[in-house]
Structures are given as structure tokens and as C-alpha cells.
Amino acid sequence: MEPVFALQRACFRYEDGKNGISAVRDAEGIFEEKKMYAIVGKSGSGKSTLLGMLAGMRLPTGGTVLYRGKDMRGIDREAYRRTEVAMIHQAYHLFPRMTALENVCYPLELLGTPYRQSKTLAGEKLLALGILQDQWNSYPEQLSGGEQQRVAIARALAKRSRVILADEPTGNLDQENTEHIMGLLRKLVAEEGYCMILVTHDREAAGQADVTLHMEAGMLNYT
């Protein structure tokens, strides 16, 4: 079967004035369904840049990224981001003027889900992440970092895209919440065939992955 992603000497170079930075260098590899991947590596090694390429937020400046066999350069990336992948950002990126519930509903509404149904789905996901009903009408600034992170995860999972790209999804969570969320993510991989790609510093989280990749100075290595 076609892998979800295939990287063929994929590069990304930031061009900042005179000094360009090669953030990803000749990355090779495949990512498949029904697997959880952990990408580990020091700060500045290119992990977020790589994830951004998979998320269709930036095109490779060299080489190729294929999504289910199709060159990312040739696909409608806006539609791709709306329907095919869900991204969990390092800094949550919740909408500050929307409540927790509205944040989770929003991507469902973009997909045309009727209002009542999206509220029901959003509530279910929030509960699954331990955000109880009395917090659904809270704004992000009224929630702790860990709660905001869990709302962001609920939002990513609600639209049921079977490719999840997560940048440090457990970075602000305690051990108990980390274990709970990793269990939830593992279940989506095992039972629903998700392709889950996590950038993580957390040993606990990395230990759950089927495949661990290391990034060092823009180079992606399998171990």
C-alpha cells in the first residue's frame, strides 16, 4: 500500500537576508498508516520545520514530499490542511476570542458539519481529554497551559483526519495526563489506523512510538 508520506531528499532552507539556514537536509523516509512515529532531537535541529512540510504549510525548497503518492507541490494544500491532516501546535494556537468548545467546533464547521452535531462531537472530544463541561465556555486565557494543550488536542482529534502531526503534544502536561493522552493516541493508531507523527522531548511519549527518528542539524536518521 501507498505510504502516507514519502520524503525524497526533502530539504528546507530559510532565506534570511544573506544568511540562509538549511533547517532540513536531504530527508528520506516513509510514514505509514497504523503507526506512531516519534521524532526526537535537540532544539533547532529542524523538527518543527519538517513537520510544517508534512502539514503542507511550507513546500520543500529541494527534493520532494509525497502525500499518498502525490507531490505536495501539485495538490490543493488548503483543502489538504482542512480535511487530510490535523496539526497540534507546540504553542497550542487556540483562538483567543473563542471558548474551549468553540475552538473545537471551528474545524468541524469548516468541514460543513451542522452546528448541533459539531457541538456534540466537540463535547465528546473535550470530555475524552478530561475537559469537563464547566470549562467548555472558558476562554483560553482562563485555562491553564495543560488545559489549553488538551483543548488543542481535542480540536485536532475532533475532525477525524487520520493523519495527526503533533509538535510536543505533551510538553505542558504532567505524568498522569501524558499517560492518558498517549493511551488515547495509541488507541487511534491501533484501532482506527491513524498515522501519528509526534515531535517530542518526552521519553514517556517517545517510548510509545513504533518508530523513533532522530533529527540532528537538519538530518533525519532512523535508529
| Residue among 44, 62, 114, 183 that touches ligand ADP (CB under 6 A) | 44
Output the CA–CA distances (angstroms, integers) from residue 136 to 57, 88, 116, 119, 192, in the order listed.
Answer: 29, 19, 15, 11, 27
By beta-carbon proximity to ligand ADP, the closer residue of 21 and 127 is: 21
By beta-carbon proximity to ligand ADP, the closer residue of 101 and 205 is: 205
From 166, 132, 165, 158, select the one nearest 147 (Cα to Cα).
132
Cell of 177: 495526563
Decide: is 200 part of the binding site for ligand ADP (CB under 6 A). Answer: no
- 161 contacts 85 by C-beta, under 8 angstroms: yes
Per partner kind, with CB cut-offs from 5 to 8 A, the member of ligand ADP, Mg ion, none near residue 95 is none
Per partner kind, with CB cut-offs from 5 to 8 A, the member of Mg ion, ligand ADP, none near residue 16 is ligand ADP
Per partner kind, with CB cut-offs from 5 to 8 A, the member of Mg ion, ligand ADP, none near residue 23 is ligand ADP
Quote the DSSP letter at residue 133: G
Q: Is the dihedral of CA 132, 134, 139, 143 positive or negative?
A: negative
CB of 126 to ligand ADP, least distance (A): 28
- H or E segment to which residue 49 belongs: helix 47-54
Binding footprint of Mg ion on the chain (CB under 5 A): 48
Binding footprint of ligand ADP on the chain (CB under 6 A): 14, 16, 21, 23, 41, 43-49
